[in-house]
Chains A and B, each alone.
Chain A
Amino acid sequence: MRPLGKAASDDDRPLIERVRRGDQDAARTLYERYFDRIYNYVYARLGRVEDAEDLAIDTMTRSLTRLDLFHEQGVAFSSWVYRIAHNATIDHYRRHGKVRLVPLEYATLPPSPDPSELAVEQLSNEDLRAALRDLTDEQQQVLILRFFQDLTAAQAADIMGKSVGAVQALQHRALDSLERALQGRTNP
């Protein structure tokens, strides 16, 4: 996936103004720019194609029809879209009885016999995705944004409403938790 640089956010501004005036071409450009990213983000969180499609469409619809609210947020359009996607994901969990809003300090981590034994290169993508979904909500979010979406720590911080330092610390803990989760899967 092409990295979402700062330039993309700057490019969004004139498009957003055009969408506000009812310009469908501008709406199509923003849709093409963000749909795949949002689908990828939501799929990584939910793991179900049908749900991911519905939530990605819902996120893009809200993003492009509630631009009056976007102006009040004071963040980049990309951050706003990711926040909508995140909230949609949380709503989805609530509706389907799978709420995972466990603070990090209370997160249950599987035991690890010897972390160095984990053969990372041999793990399948699906193993990684499945183990990721065992993490807390924030841990999933930071790893998906930083490594699946290829965003910088600053961009992830803007989306999550945290400082860059907090995001870096969260990322470190999330990787540690993921490693343990993978060991729990490969050494039951």
Chain B
Amino acid sequence: MSEVERLERLAERLRAVDSVMASPGAKIRGWNLVLAAVEQSATVRSRTHSVRRLVLAAVAAAVLLVAGAVAASADSLPDSALYPLKGVLENVRGALAFSPSDQFAYHLDLAQTRLTEAQAMIARHRLDLASRALTGLDEQLDDAALVVRAEKQSDPVLGASLENRLSQAIAVHDQQLAGLQGQVTNPAAVRAITEARDRAAHALQVADNPASSTGHAKSSDSPSGDGKGQGTSSPRPAANR
């Protein structure tokens, strides 16, 4: 008999060996132990998932809270606790305005924001905060004027266009300030508005005259007080009303 035949015979004999089965008692005992382990494993997994879900919920709540605060700060007023956050966001926005046109639009937008804040503070009889907002308004107009002046030297066509827009914006602001001035009786408020109108008119001169300076010091209370203004203490002519 060849080796292959012998080994095949042996293999067949191995296949014929009876299977050995575990006793029913052992199988039941085994299942009880397995079941207990599976249940414990599922409990541990469930507990782990619960902790993970809790952490995720906390993170989501924190994100929503921050996002909500940021969104709410956009419309906050100087007497709000969120007002400092508004300044941070405005500075970020200013840092992302790269082209002269964008910077100009940014300053005009903030000027309008400061004017709105001033109106609200006067309505709430917070003259100190209204005065700061009016100062912020003039700072933004001056910064816009500096952009116009720089552009008139490098790109006269764009500079002229921006100057025209600045002039229109100042006229609109002056009308709004005049309306506001007519509504107040407090002498301090009247004086603050008058000064603001004077300083706003001065911004056009800054844009017109290369030798002129903005003449204001940056207000640290303005939310976007980023120190961009080149303020000196040169006197300003009164607005022609």
Contacts and interface: CB of A to CB of B under 8 A. Distances in A.
B53 interface: no
Contacts of A128: 13-14, 17
Most chain A C-beta atoms within 10 Å of own C-beta, residue among B6, B9, B11, B22: B22
A148 B37 contact: no
A76 to B, nearest CB: 20
Interface string A144-155: 001110100000
Contacts of A43: 20
A52 B45 CA distance: 30
Interface string A14-49: 000001111010011001000110011001100001
B7 A175 contact: yes
Contacts of A53: 22-23, 26, 29-30
A116 B1 contact: yes
B10 interface: yes
A175 B10 contact: yes
A27 B6 contact: no
Given A179-B7, A179-B10, A57 B30 contact: yes
Contacts of A129: 17
A101 interface: no
A22 B38 contact: yes
B31 to A, nearest CB: 6
Contacts of B37: 61, 64-65
Contacts, number: 103
B30 A125 contact: no
A116 B22 contact: no
Nearest to B7: A175
B110 to A, nearest CB: 56
Majority-rule SS of B interface residues: helix
B184 interface: no
Interface residues of B, number: 33
Interface in A118-139: 118, 120-121, 123, 125, 128-129
B21 interface: yes
Q: How large is the interface on A (under 10, 10 to 19, 20 to 34, 35 or more residues)?
A: 35 or more
B10 A24 contact: no
Contacts of B31: 28, 31, 35
B6 A147 contact: no
Given A53-B22, A57-B34, A116 B6 contact: yes
Interface of A: 1, 19-22, 24, 27-28, 31, 35-36, 39-40, 43-44, 49, 52-53, 56-57, 60-61, 64-65, 115-116, 118, 120-121, 123, 125, 128-129, 143, 146-148, 150, 172, 175-176, 178-179
Interface of B: 1, 3, 6-7, 9-11, 13-15, 17-23, 26-27, 29-31, 33-35, 37-42, 45-46
4 residue pairs, one from A and one from B, having the closest CB atoms:
A22-B42, A147-B14, A57-B30, A65-B41
